[in-house]
Amino acid sequence: MKYSYYPGCTLKTKAKELDVYARKCAEKLGVELTEVDDWQCCGGVYTTSRDEIVTKLSSVRALNNAKERGQSLVTVCSACHNVIKRVNYDMANDAFVNAGANNYLQLATPYNGETKVIHFLELLRDEIGFENVKKAVVNPVKRRISAYYGCLLLRPGNVMAMDDPENPRIMEDFISAIGGTPVVSPYRNECCGAYLAVTDPAVPARHCGYITDSFKAKGAETVITACPLCMYNLKRNSGDLPVVYFSEILAEALGVK
């Protein structure tokens, strides 16, 4: 199985574990990930306004590169995934955005949203299959684990189309596949406070307080996330509750850590 892969800036720096362990696990599971050529930062957040064209171009370039290779595009960071998937949706469904981006890029063939964008969790569920992930586990992670989805993997539900945005299960099924016990909290898809970490850290501190208190009250021993910013905000406010990337805990289970 061969895929194009978009790691993203933060995964090359502050969130190396998210990238390195995703690659190791992919290899172990027989998946070949090839980085997009000359990829650029996705910008961290999708710009919702229709007249924001320039801020969507880096995603279009990555999507078009995968299209030229005839591959689906795999992401692992929640934020990159949200931005790229939403831009892809616009390229397929918003004639104004499509015209602006194609007019600027002047590609050999216009890009119209052809590439399939898959988050690593979807790769595990839909392409490899959780039952095959389970078979590859050598060190079952026998812990009570809470999945923290945050906003970016799930919303907007009609575009992200990963799971039920209000009652998701993909991460819980992932936890079960690697031998853990999923611990569900209603705060798992509430926002961590996001980029207000830069302007007013009291905001993420408050939100992450609610979130991690809820995980603790439910008896979680570990929290998993796919987002470096959720990781940062949660970690600073979770006390002694460990927060790890889902790819790192998968690597532990697959014996490649």
Binding stretches for another protein (CB under 8 A): 8-10, 13-15, 41, 43-45, 47-52, 55, 77, 79, 151, 154-157, 165-166, 190-191, 193-199, 201, 203, 207, 228-229, 231-232, 235-236
Residue closer to another protein, measured from CB, 9 or 107: 9
CB of 69 vs another protein, minimal distance in Å: 26
Residue closer to another protein, measured from CB, 132 or 167: 167
CB of 137 vs another protein, minimal distance in Å: 29
CB of 179 vs another protein, minimal distance in Å: 29
SS3 for the chain, per residue? CEEEEECCCHHHCCCHHHHHHHHHHHHHCCCEEEECCCCCCCCCCCCCCCCCCHHHHHHHHHHHHHHHHCCCEEECCHHHHHHHHHHHHHHHHCHHHHHHHHHHHCCCCCCCCCCCEEEHHHHHHHHHCHHHHHHHCCCCCCCEEEECCCCCCCCCHHHHCCCCCCCCCHHHHHHHHCCCEECCCHHHHCCCCCCHHHHCCHHHHHHHHHHHHHHHHCCCCEEEECCHHHHHHHHHHCCCCCEEEHHHHHHHHHCCC
CB of 157 vs another protein, minimal distance in Å: 6
Residue closer to another protein, measured from CB, 10 or 72: 10
Residue closer to another protein, measured from CB, 47 or 112: 47
Residue closer to another protein, measured from CB, 11 or 253: 11
CB of 100 vs another protein, minimal distance in Å: 12
CB of 240 vs another protein, minimal distance in Å: 17
CB atoms within 10 A of CB 96: 11
In sign, the C-alpha dihedral spanning 177, 179, 185, 189 is: negative
Cα–Cα distance measured from residue 135 to residue 226, given in angstroms and rounded to the nearest whole number: 23
CB of 227 vs another protein, minimal distance in Å: 8
Residue closer to another protein, measured from CB, 52 or 68: 52
Residue closer to another protein, measured from CB, 10 or 115: 10
